[in-house]
Structure 1
């Protein structure tokens, strides 16, 4: 027969072209151990597959084998600055096991999220990753429990699903300690909205570093910048207009650090000579292009994506996890603002 489109060619067509049984074709395609297929017959089958452009039916193979060689990734951050890092980390780790990712965008919409989950389960994915833009508690549909599921940059509000999150306390400690080591004793902290996990953790780390250095904790040096550049500017103005102004600012994200830069320069102060600044997140379009370049903590999205798949692979293999919530280190990226 003449070769049609790859989708129209069946295993029976391959068997007829090679002059063998359909079972023999199946044994070769699945590399079935113990199948006594002569080398010459195997070559004929492979040649027929190539000539006809045959592609195995992935859905049928997954149904028969109960495995699809796919992991599903549901995320609201496909268009966010860090999305590529999560996806790269996850896919690079998955490829070590010759697995691939099926990615579904939820954009934070609960109905779209549920539909994405159903579609991924229909594809018989071997496990699910669920990734969020910012660190917080989430509640997933019950269907997520049908396969191994790991949360990335978030955690299960019900405490049932394992997760991988950034070490917020460790990051806050590292940021404040860097300023202490630079000789600063009055360090202002421009925090995120105060009740979210990142704000709580980073403040805990900041206070721990001050205590370890024997420095007093002054609550009036902690101001919320609400995660925006304008908020960072307003908070920095408040701190810098004090008679006992701080000589360093730890900003809870890089956008607020960008606003703080404006407040510092408006007052004729120099960075880092008069006021040192440390940011958080390592948003490349901000941190590397401010002048001077911003010293900041990197949110480990690539590492979290990789660790999430690592945990998922263990669960899919029937293994237990040492800990249900893994924290990944936030490294300090030294530039020129301290």
Structure 2
């Protein structure tokens, strides 16, 4: 037997049931100012709307207002860690307080115009998306649809004057804090790992850049060597074997806490004392740092005001202007490694 899915209720259905015009229903449900509708009629219309399960259509509401309250966040093609998850949660709450809805969207991997058309079809007021997914033609399409573009993974300096806003994590600064700490403690033979995989490799490259620049700025002759690594115990063991063959570094920046945890385990298996023979620094300051033995020194990304970030995103939408945001400050958390 074929079942027929019920049609969603409309304001026409409410008007017929209440014995009023559709205009009256619209005025009531949208709390239109200046409308002289008796309180009894208002109560009856709202009661029938609740009874019918009426939900206003977002696209229709956007057309009526001339703007959308939707901010579309296009997820990166990686599993989000606790830092990003917590940031998205609090940003969702702050934007909601300001009358906007943050919608996280994933699944398709298109870029350029094809991706821009998909995003524009949702009628958001802004799209937060990785810069690599954007092309000039795609940006132009979004701007013609009056959708503000907020790019991640690109420096503000590279975007200023293009009409594209930025929301960036200071990955160069993360690497720099690790390098400054290790060089400051007297280590000169340094090493770093860079994760394999397209997205993580880009982030790892920025952290490596900051690490190398900090070592060079110190002017003490510190050297940095780097190796690629997968997120697996086997890959960590291979990296440590390479260091044993070539000479163990005095100190290592392990990209993040999870990669550093794998390296710590591999070094313990190889009977490399940490930190007595080789020091180790991670990044992100996860709970894992306090669970490991010895406890892992890490670079924490200290969040700035989420409310201020949300306010700037709304300003980009309402004033149709560029904003350039980097709402985290890299801070070293020294422990035992």
When normalised by structure 2's length, the TM-score is 0.75
Partner of 1:320: 321
Output the CA distance in 1 between the equivalents of 2:98 and 2:271. Answer: 56
Residues 190 and 256, structure 1, Cα contact 8 Å, conserved in 2: no
Classify the secondary structure of the residue corresponding to 2:74: strand
1:125 Cα deviation from its structure 2 partner? 1.4
**1:139 aligns to 2:124 (yes or no):** no
1:200 Cα deviation from its structure 2 partner? 5.2
1:155-196 CA deviation, whole Å, 9 max, x = no partner? 699843222222123212211233345x34335121427996
Partner of 1:92: 93
Classify the secondary structure of the residue corresponding to 1:188: strand
Residues 233 and 261, structure 1, Cα contact 8 Å, conserved in 2: no
1:207 Cα deviation from its structure 2 partner? 4.4
Output the CA distance in 1 between the equivalents of 2:217 and 2:119. Answer: 48
Classify the secondary structure of the residue corresponding to 2:226: strand
1:278 Cα deviation from its structure 2 partner? 0.4
Bigger RCO (CA 8 Å, 6+ sep): 1
Residues 251 and 279, structure 1, Cα contact 8 Å, conserved in 2: yes
**1:120 aligns to 2:123 (yes or no):** no
Partner of 2:177: 174
Count the aligned residue pairs. 320
1:187-218 CA deviation, whole Å, 9 max, x = no partner? 51214279966455434533454466563222
Structure 1 residue runs without a partner (length 5+): none
Query: Which aligned pairs between 1:190-269 and structure 2 lie closer than 5 A?
Result: 190-192=192-194, 198-199=203-204, 201-207=206-212, 209-210=214-215, 215-218=220-223, 221-226=224-229, 228-229=231-232, 232-239=236-243, 245-269=248-272
1:287-313 CA deviation, whole Å, 9 max, x = no partner? 56543343223467x879988755432
